[in-house]
């Protein structure tokens, strides 16, 4: 089985060809970072226009690299939401057009389902497993029971973790995108110099919150001499990163206990999303997993961040179950799993 995946829901335009034997035949991911950098964040209108400009060429390159024609495809899968609506429309309309022209089934994929099933593409992992999804737009803990069967154990009540990284990096003058810049700065910092809150720690649910921590960092930065010295920026970064890692660790520990009680056959904790690139977070999660009886599984980074292989793979998983969509599918800016 061969499926073309298309991803355009945020600031990556991506295409991929994936087979049901878990092989990525070819893929392209075009990051729009340079387009958005002058604005310090993703500008939806610019993103939508960039997707429109690049998506056809990226699909053509992907098909050519794999030596495939549209007639070879079994289905076309495009991200149907959630995401920035202009971009989602571009991907959905492109996918539908190819499906219609080639007479192939169309699959509208929930972007979060793409992230949730990636570990099965990369490692053939069996259900159930516990998933921590930490990206710029999402922060959730899910028990993944099967295709289309996701039990949400916790979610953020305000910001996503990556969003908090990006905002704090901006406040500390570290540039865009914030997560990697902040991690680099934190390497030379003292995480214990400033006392920062560990949001939600000890709460009985598994939810996240980052806006209070973000605000505490804002007040801290306001109290420091301007311009911020490199050491102050490093110490703020290290303190923030440690607070996020500890807060997430507390939430994951709680979710792992619930997961082990309800799904005792589950053996894995999977982490996905751009923030999974963070080394301190990965180390922390590996420790939490071990203490909770779950092995940490992190897909390769290029498949943790936004990409089209995960969309094609989710398409394969759904197609195998006969779950295809109509060509009148309407793009969904909001679409909880």
Minimum distance, C-beta of residue 183 to ligand KG4, in the bound complex (Å): 4
Mark the segment that binds ligand KG4 (CB under 6 A) among 19-27, 84-92, 161-169, 247-255.
Answer: 161-169
**Cβ distance to Zn ion smaller for residue 62 or 272:** 272
> What is the side-by-side order of every strand in the sheet holding 149-155?
149-155, 139-146, 129-134, 268-272, 295-297
**Cβ distance to Zn ion smaller for residue 310 or 316:** 310
Please check if 136 is assigned to a binding site: yes
**Cβ distance to Zn ion smaller for residue 159 or 306:** 306
Nearest-CA neighbor of 335 among 90, 108, 93?
108
State the Cα torsion 112-15-125-138 to the nearest 10°: -20
Of Zn ion, ligand KG4, none, which one sits near residue 27, judging by CB under 5 to 8 A according to partner kind? none
Q: Applying CB under 6 A, does 86 fall inside the site for ligand KG4? A: no
Q: Applying CB under 6 A, does 137 fall inside the site for ligand KG4? A: yes
Size of the chain in residues: 337
Gyration radius from the chain CA atoms: 20
Long-range pairs for 42-46: beta carbons < 8 A, 24 or more residues apart = 42/10, 42/11, 42/84, 44/84, 44/85, 44/86, 44/87, 45/86
Q: Applying CB under 6 A, does 165 fall inside the site for ligand KG4? A: yes
Q: Applying CB under 5 A, does 306 fall inside the site for Zn ion? A: yes
Instruction: Encode burial over 216-230: b for 16+ CB neighbours within 10 A, e otherwise.
Output: bbeebbeeeeeebee
**What backbone phi and psi angles, to 5 degrees, belong to 144?**
-95, 105
Please check if 273 is assigned to a binding site: no
Q: Applying CB under 6 A, does 179 fall inside the site for ligand KG4? A: yes
**Cβ distance to ligand KG4 smaller for residue 99 or 213:** 213
Please check if 278 is assigned to a binding site: yes
CB 62 within 8 A of CB 27: yes
Q: Applying CB under 5 A, does 135 fall inside the site for Zn ion? A: yes
Please check if 306 is assigned to a binding site: yes
Please check if 115 is assigned to a binding site: yes
Please check if 317 is assigned to a binding site: no
What is the CB-side half-sphere exposure of residue 181 using CA atoms within 13 A?
18
Q: Where on the chain is the footprint of ligand KG4 (CB under 6 A)?
A: 10, 135-137, 162-163, 165-166, 177-180, 183, 273-275, 277-278, 305-306
**Binding site, annotated residues:** 111, 115, 133-137, 166, 179, 183, 278, 306
Q: Where on the chain is the footprint of Zn ion (CB under 5 A)?
A: 135, 306
């Amino acid at each position: 089985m061969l499926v073309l995946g298309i991803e355009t829901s945020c600031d990556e335009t991506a295409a991929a060809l994936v087979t049901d034997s878990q092989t990525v035949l070819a893929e392209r991911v075009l990051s729009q970072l340079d387009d958005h950098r002058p604005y310090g964040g993703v500008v939806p209108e610019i993103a939508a226009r960039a997707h429109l400009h690049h998506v056809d060429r990226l699909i053509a390159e992907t098909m050519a690299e794999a030596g495939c024609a549209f007639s070879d495809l079994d289905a076309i899968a495009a991200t149907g939401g959630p995401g920035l609506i202009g971009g989602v429309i571009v991907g959905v309309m492109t996918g539908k057009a190819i499906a219609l022209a080639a007479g192939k089934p169309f699959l509208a994929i929930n972007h979060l389902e793409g992230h949730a099933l990636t570990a099965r593409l990369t490692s053939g992992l069996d259900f159930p497993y516990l998933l921590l999804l930490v990206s710029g737009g999402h922060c959730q803990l899910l028990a993944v029971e099967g295709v289309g069967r996701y039990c949400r154990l916790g979610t953020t009540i305000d910001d996503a973790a990556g969003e908090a990284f990006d905002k704090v990096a901006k406040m500390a003058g570290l540039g865009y995108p914030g997560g990697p810049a902040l991690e680099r700065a934190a390497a030379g910092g003292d995480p214990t110099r400033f006392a920062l809150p560990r949001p939600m720690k000890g709460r009985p649910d598994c939810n996240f919150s980052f806006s209070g921590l973000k605000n505490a960092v804002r007040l801290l930065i306001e109290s420091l001499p301007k311009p911020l010295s490199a050491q102050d920026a490093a110490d703020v970064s290290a303190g923030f990163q440690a607070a996020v890692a500890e807060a997430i660790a507390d939430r994951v520990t709680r979710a792992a206990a619930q997961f082990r009680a309800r799904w005792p056959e589950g053996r894995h904790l999977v982490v996905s999303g751009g923030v999974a690139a963070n080394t301190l977070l990965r180390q922390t999660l590996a420790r939490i997993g071990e203490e909770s009886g779950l092995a940490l599984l992190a897909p390769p980074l290029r498949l943790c961040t936004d990409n089209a292989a995960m969309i094609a793979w989710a398409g394969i998983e759904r197609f195998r179950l006969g779950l295809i969509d109509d060509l009148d599918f309407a793009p969904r800016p909001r679409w909880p799993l």
